[in-house]
Amino acid sequence: MSLALARPHRDDWRIAVSGLLGGVLLWALGIHPRLDTDGLVLWHASWAALVPLAVTAACEPLRRIMPRTGLLIGTAALVLDTVTLGSIVTIVLYTDLMYAAVLYGTPAAARRIPWVTGMLTVVAGVVPAALWRDPQGLLIGVGVGVVAFGPAATGVLVRDHRDAAEAARLRAKQTALLAEMDRTQAVTAERSRMARELHDMVANHLSAIAIHSTAALSIDDPRTSRDALAVIRENSVAGLAEMRRLIGILRDGSGDREPAASPTLDGLGALVESARANGLEVTLDAGHGKVPAPVELAAYRIVQEALTNALKHAAKGCVRVRLRQDEEALDIRVTSPYRPGDTPRAPGSGAGLTGMRERTALLGGTFGAGPRGALWTVRATLPLTEGDPA
C-alpha cells in the first residue's frame, strides 16, 4: 500500500514566489547588502547572488512538509550567499526556514535548534571580539542572533502557544464528550426509573382487571359477574389515580398538581388488603423499624410487584410476606404456591423481576427469585444505607 506524499501548502508557494520575485527586483536595482571594499567577496559576478536566492526560495515549499531538509539546504545557500554580493531577501527567507523548522519540525528539533543557534550566537560574538581585540566583533554575534537565534526562539514561543491551544481544544472536546456521556446515562437512568415506577404503579391494577374480566366472561353467574365488575371498577379507579399521580410528578412547573408522596412500609397493610380483595390469600409478617426513605420505597415496590406476580402466576394457596430488619439490612421474603406447567392467569413480560433486581442493585443489595420446591420465593436484602432506589 503506497503512501501519498504530502503536498506543500499553497501559502508556502506564495512565500517562495514572492521572495524570488522580490530578490530579483532588488538585484535588478543593484541593491546588495555588502560591497567588495575589503576583498571579502569571492564571487564578484552580480548574478551570482541569484543562485543562493533561488535555492533558498526553492526550500520554502518544504517548510511544513520537510522542515529539517529545507533548513539544511537553506543553511548551505546562506553560506554561499556570504561569498557573493548577497541579497537581503535570501537572509529574510532563511529566517523563515529557521522559524518553520522549530514550529513544524519534530519535538526533538524544536528543543535542539534554539540551543544550537543560541550557542552559535554567543560563539560568533565572543570569538571575533577576543581574536581581533575589538568590541565591534560582537556585532557578528548580533547578526547571527538576528538571523538564527531570533527566529528559532520565536518558533519556540509560537509552538508552545499552539500546543497549549491544541491541548485546551482536546480537553474541551473531552469535557464535552464526558458531559454528553453523563447526559445520556442520566436520561437512560431516568427512563429506567420511570419505567419501573409506571410498571409498579399500574401493573397490579391491570393484572387484577384482566383476571376478573376473564372470570366475568367465563362464568355465567350474575352475582359472580357483579363481584368481578366491582373489583374491575375498583382497580380501574385506583389505576387511573396512580396514572394521574405519575403524570403530576412528570409535569415540570405546571403547578396544577402536587407531587404524590412516596409509598412507605406503613402502607403494606393496605397493599395486602388490596391483594386480598383481588382474590389472593395473603399473610403479612412485618417486623421492621425506621429505615431510610430509599430503602423503604424499594421494599414497598418489591412487595407490591411480588404480590402482582403471585396474582398472575401463583397456584391456589397462601401467599406469605415477611420482613425482617437487623442493624445492617432489611430482608424481604415473599413466598407463593408454585406448580410447574400452570397457565398464567394474566400475561407477563418479565419486566417485574427486572425492576425488582434493578431496585435492589441500586442500593447495593442482593436479589433472588425462583422456585424452591412447591413454593416460588422472592427474596431481597437491602442494606440500610442512603441511596436512590429509583
Q: For 27-36, 56-65, 162-171, which range has the lowest pLDDT when averaged over its residues?
A: 27-36
| Percentage of residues of the chain with pLDDT beyond 90 | 34
Highest mean pLDDT among 88-92, 217-221, 280-284: 88-92
Domain ranges of the chain: 10-173, 266-390
d(CA 224, CA 241): 26
3-state secondary structure of 157: helix
Q: What is the pLDDT of residue 193?
A: 72
Q: Which cell numbers in the block locate residue 78?
A: 546562506
Angle at 64 between CA 14 and CA 159, to 5 degrees: 115
Q: Per-residue pLDDT tens for 315-346?
A: 888 999 999 998 889 999 999 988 776 666 65
Per-residue pLDDT at 51: 93
Q: How far apart (Å, rounded) are the C-alpha atoms in residues 270 and 284?
A: 11
At 128, the pLDDT band (50, 70, 90 cuts) reads: confident
Look at residue 325 and give its three-state secondary structure. strand
Segment 182-199 mean pLDDT:
75
Q: How far is CA 162 from CA 11, 155, 165, in A?
A: 19, 10, 5
For 333, the 3-state DSSP assignment is: strand
**Which CATH code of 3.40.50.300, 3.30.360.10, 3.30.565.10, 3.40.710.10 fits the domain covering 266-390?**
3.30.565.10
* Least confident residue range of 37-41, 81-85, 229-233, 305-309: 37-41
What stretches of the chain show up as alpha helix (H) in DSSP?
A: 10-28, 50-59, 67-81, 88-104, 107-132, 138-144, 150-218, 222-250, 268-277, 293-313, 351-362
**How far, in Å, CA of 256 to CA of 362, rounded?**
32
